[in-house]
Amino acid sequence: MEYETLIIIPTYNEIDNIIRLISRIHQTVPAAHVLVIDDNSPDGTGDAVEPLTKSDQRVFLLRREGKLGLGTAYLTGFRYALERGYRYIFEMDADFSHDPGHLPAFLEAIKGADLVLGSRYVPGGGVENWPLWRQLVSRGGSLYSRVILGLPYHDLTGGFKCFRRETLEALGLDSIYSEGYSFQIEMTYRASRKGFKIVEIPIVFRERAEGVSKMSRKIFLEAVLRVWQMRLTIS
Ligand SMILES: Nc1nc2c(ncn2[C@@H]2O[C@H](COP(=O)(O)OP(=O)(O)OP(=O)(O)O)[C@@H](O)[C@H]2O)c(=O)[nH]1
Ligand SMILES: [Mg+2]
């Protein structure tokens, strides 16, 4: 049921997106709760969301002192979700790359799965407005991880996913070591190693129109190396 759903959205300088996104989410899934994890965005994203948490009982905000990274933002959000008993827990970006219109399909799929991956690289999925180099990096990154980790999934770096609470409980959140793109790979790999049922559903990913990209060479290189660490250390 929808009131059991928490959508976690980490934000860093998303003032042009976040309020509109929350309202679009609630048009599509009115009963879903939204948790924004803001890292003291210099553009005032946290201050913009704060009033909403007073006027709308479905909106929650955690403010951290500074930019501590996407991975730890999600881990904080997952712990929050588990403590409060949510059943279906989403990861979602703030920049409209992840279309709220896909949320009902996730909620349908999670009924028969432990983890649902929004996938750009299955039939019906896709990417809009990405330059060729970025498509190649993304597809290459998924293929590389897929081969080294022996996973059957097509999109391993995506950040639009839905976990059943039991899956997060079993993963051991304290043992997650990755940041950036490798965080997404590591969560899926750990879930797969534990034998959870993982389902991919098609999503169309749209490049951000507002705000600034945080993609960096460092995040990319981390993923290249971390995949080997995962293969060697996660049983
Ligand atoms: N709380 C928090 N959120 C972050 C941090 N880094 C990124 N985010 C958020 O995580 C989500 C994904 O980051 P993006 O910058 O969109 O990363 P991306 O999709 O790989 O790259 P672009 O869309 O090209 O910018 C967005 O909602 C960001 O605001 C961080 O250090 N802390
Ligand atoms: Mg983005």
Q: State the pLDDT at residue 1.
A: 45
**19 CA to centre of ligand 1 in angstroms:** 16
CA-proximal residue: ligand 1, atom 18 (nearest):
215
The closest residue, in CA terms, to atom 12 on ligand 1 is: 93
Q: Distance from the CA of 223 to the center of ligand 1, in angstroms?
A: 16
12 CA distance to ligand 1 centroid (A)?
A: 6
Residues in the chain: 235
Ligand 1 atom with the smallest distance to the CA of 67 is 31
Give the range of the structural domain holding residue 149, as residue numbers without chain letter: 2-233
Give the domain CATH number at 67: 3.90.550.10
Q: Which ligand is nearest to the CA of 43?
A: 1
Task: Give the integer Cα–Cα distance in Å for 215 and 207.
Answer: 12
- Ligand 1 atom closest to Cα of residue 213: 25
Q: Please, are residues 45 and 14 in contact by the beta-carbon 8 Å criterion?
A: yes
Nearest to 50 by CA among 59, 42, 58, 41: 59
**Burial (CB count within 10 angstroms: exposed 0-12, middle 13-18, buried 19+), residue 207:** middle
Please give all residues whose beta carbon lies within 6 A of any atom in ligand 1, as ranges: 10-12, 14, 37-39, 67-70, 73, 93-95, 97, 208, 213-215
Nearest residue (by CA) to ligand 1, atom 28, is 11
Q: Is the pTM of this model over 0.85?
A: yes
- Residue 166 CA, ligand 1 centroid: distance in Å: 26
Residue-level pLDDT at 219: 76
* Residue from 37, 70, 120, 155 to probe ligand 1 pocket by mutation (most atoms less than 8 Å from CB): 70
pLDDT value of position 145: 96
Other beta carbons within 10 angstroms of residue 30's beta carbon come to 10
Q: Report how many domains make up the chain.
A: 1
What separation in Å is there between the alpha carbon of 75 and the centre of ligand 1? 15
The pLDDT profile of the chain, 235 residues, written as one tens digit per residue, is 445 999 999 999 999 999 999 999 999 999 999 999 999 999 999 999 999 999 999 999 999 999 999 999 999 999 999 999 999 999 999 999 999 999 999 999 999 999 999 999 999 999 998 888 888 989 999 999 999 999 999 999 999 999 999 999 999 999 999 988 899 999 999 999 999 999 999 999 998 877 666 667 777 788 889 999 999 999 8
Q: How far is the CA of 214 from the centre of ligand 1 (A)?
A: 6
Given a contact cutoff of 8 angstroms between Cβ atoms, the answer to whether 66 and 38 are in contact is no
Q: What is the pLDDT of residue 111?
A: 97
Q: Which of 74, 59, 87, 99 is nearest to 3 (CA)?
A: 87
